[in-house]
């Protein structure tokens, strides 16, 4: 499967098969690919904490609230992505350029991780709604938790959604400047 095929296939899943555990080898493949994600000054300012079993069951309610994410009770694996430390050159660049490179780097990491999950036959959903302090404590994260990725097998065979309606045409989101 090439990257374009993965990009077309990957979609957020909100119905997981709680009875089907995810093989450790597939989780490790996702982590190994995510590790290859580019980052400013190659600082890799992130930590990926894998939560399964009882920890995943305790984490699920921490991703819910105001009627959001009730489906996370079924998720067998969560990968909590927290901030790591900048290296010296990235820290200096972030300060001088007033740019939050950690957020950019963590976004790229998440894209790599979810793309590999798709290649492994898994489904995923990137969560930004959670009780940060409680998640950090449960997962033992030292840095601020930025995202949580739900990972597992779908409850039913996913049917690819029509993306034309959900995506703007290239003409609306691109510009070409030629000399």
CA distance 44 to 90: 10
Whole-number pLDDT of residue 165:
61
Distances from the Cα of 164 to the Cα of 8, 11, 31, 168, 171, angstroms: 11, 13, 30, 7, 13
Residue 77: what are its φ and ψ, rounded to 5°?
-140, 130
Q: Tokens at residue 29, please?
A: 């493949």
* Average pLDDT of every residue of the chain: 91
Q: Which structure tokens are listed for 1?
A: 């499967």
Q: What proportion of the chain, given as a percentage, has pLDDT over 70?
A: 96
Nearest to 57, CA basis, from 150, 128, 126: 150
Question: How high is the pLDDT of residue 49?
Answer: 98
pLDDT in tens, 84-118: 877 777 777 778 877 788 899 999 999 999 999 99
pLDDT tens per residue, range 107-163? 999 999 999 999 999 999 999 999 999 999 999 999 999 999 999 999 987 766 665
Are the C-beta atoms of 102 and 83 separated by less than 8 Å? Answer: yes
Full-model pTM: 0.90
């Amino acid at each position: 499967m090439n990257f374009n095929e993965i990009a077309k296939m990957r979609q957020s899943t909100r119905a997981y098969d709680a009875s089907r555990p995810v093989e450790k080898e597939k989780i490790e493949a996702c982590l190994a690919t995510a590790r290859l994600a580019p980052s400013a000054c190659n600082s890799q300012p992130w930590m990926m904490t894998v939560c399964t079993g009882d920890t995943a069951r305790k984490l699920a309610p921490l991703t819910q609230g105001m009627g959001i994410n009730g489906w996370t009770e079924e998720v067998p694996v969560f990968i909590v992505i927290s901030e790591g430390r900048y290296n010296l050159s990235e820290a200096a660049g972030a300060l001088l350029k007033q740019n939050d490179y950690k957020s950019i780097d963590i976004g790229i990491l998440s894209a790599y991780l979810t793309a590999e999950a798709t290649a492994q036959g898994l489904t995923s959903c990137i969560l930004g709604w959670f009780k940060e302090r409680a998640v950090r404590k449960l997962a033992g994260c030292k840095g601020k938790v930025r995202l949580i990725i739900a990972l597992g097998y779908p409850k039913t065979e996913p049917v690819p959604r029509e993306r034309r309606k959900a995506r703007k045409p290239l003409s609306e989101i691109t510009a070409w400047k030629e000399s």
